[in-house]
Amino acid sequence: MTRRARHARTSPGGWPLDDAEKERLRRRRREVRVFVAGSINVDIMLYLDEWPAQDTAATVSGARIAMGGHAGNCAEAFAGLETPCYVSGAVGTDDYGRMAVSHLENRGVKTDFIARMEGENTGTVYIPVCGKEHRLLLHRGANNGHRGAVLDQAASVNADALIVFDPSRHVIDRFIADIRSAQAHRPMTVWSPASVNMDRETLNALLPHIDWLIVNSGEHDMINNILGRQSESIRGLNLAVTKGEAGSAARYEGDWFEAPAFSAPVVDCVGAGDAFMAGFVLGLQAGLSVETALVVGNRSGAFAVQTEGARTRLKNIDEFLNMDAVFLR
């Protein structure tokens, strides 16, 4: 950090928004249009009492099927905030694909830009969970067939914000070409690579042209290792980093800000970063300061950890604003 980080202000109750800021969120949450592009998956959750040692077996104490994928998770988090959201992605024509699309539609997410890939399996993630730790075993399936021109798609619905997670290589290449030639009038663009397509060439081509890079701490370290901390592609970039129980941090116009996490009954942490994304972006779109937007993002993430699977339990903006919670110290 080049400057000392400033901490988001906190009240004794741990929720720093004043009445005017809450009203701004209430008003803007229905006015903002968000477009999310990336993976749509079905998650197979496998619950373990302990991790197996090398060459040994572990008993699965429980299993369940849940909806997942970074784009799907984030879109549902926006739905919980009552914010109009479109998704661009791809699923197979199998039962899992029908389940995934139906689930999003039932939550009010607009699925017009989801492609159905004939003969492809919908993306599937096997997620062994043990205590607070989990692993991801990913079969991308139809996600690799996603070919949407996401910047054009977002423009066609007058989106205010475009969030690109981990779509196919084709989508990333088209996105790089489109955003490099885009005129000034385009949505706020956010990239969260989710460990996919994080090679040197892609990073150097894309980072100078986006408005925000949002990653977790592990992805942040990976990018620094690939490019070097003093890379021109990193310096000056608006950046937000999620850090689990340590909260989140952001660099904006050269200043660093930090916000502590909310305490919450943790069921599992899968999808918390995707929910953070929805809260943080909505906060920025509502005109809140970056430090306050971090707190809004952390609060959104706190809802995601309270339910099994990657999707949030959040139902509406009133629940979000009125949740009784305190900051972790």
Which pLDDT value is given to residue 321? 81
DSSP string, 63-108: EEEEEE-HHHHHHHHHHHTT--EEEEEEEESSHHHHHHHHHHHHTT
Is the torsion defined by CA of 10, 191, 162, 312 positive or negative?
Answer: negative
In a domain, 323, yes or no: no
Whether residue 245 is contained in a domain is answered as yes
Q: What is the pLDDT of residue 183?
A: 66
Q: Which of 157, 169, 121, 140 is nearest to 36 (CA)?
A: 157
Phi-psi domain of 15 (left: phi exceeds 0; alpha: psi -120 through 50; beta: other): beta
Whether 58 is covered by a domain: the verdict is: no
CA distance 143 to 106: 21
* Overall pTM > 0.85: yes
- DSSP β-ladder status, 123-130 and 133-134: antiparallel
Vertex 20: Cα angle to 18 and 23 (nearest 5) = 110
pLDDT value at residue 11: 39
| pLDDT, tens digit (0-9, with 9 covering 90-100), for 135-156 | 889 999 999 999 999 999 999 9
| 3-state DSSP assignment of residue 24 | helix
Range of the domain at 251: 18-41+70-123+145-317
**pLDDT tens, 264-309?**
766 556 668 899 999 999 999 999 999 999 999 988 888 876 666 5
**Could you state, in chain order, the average pLDDT of each consecutive group of 10 residues for the chain (329 residues)?**
51 63 91 96 92 92 90 93 96 96 94 96 92 86 95 96 95 94 84 86 92 94 85 82 90 90 68 90 95 91 68 73 58
Confirm whether 140 is domain-assigned: no
Q: Is residue 301 part of a domain?
A: yes
Q: For residue 209, what is the domain's CATH number?
A: 3.40.1190.20
When computed from its CA atoms, the radius of gyration of the chain, rounded to whole angstroms, is 19
3-state class of 314 per DSSP?
coil
Stated length of the chain: 329
Coil/strand/helix, residue 144 = helix
Q: Is residue 256 part of a domain?
A: yes
User: How far apart are alpha carbons 254 and 281 in whole angstroms?
Assistant: 19
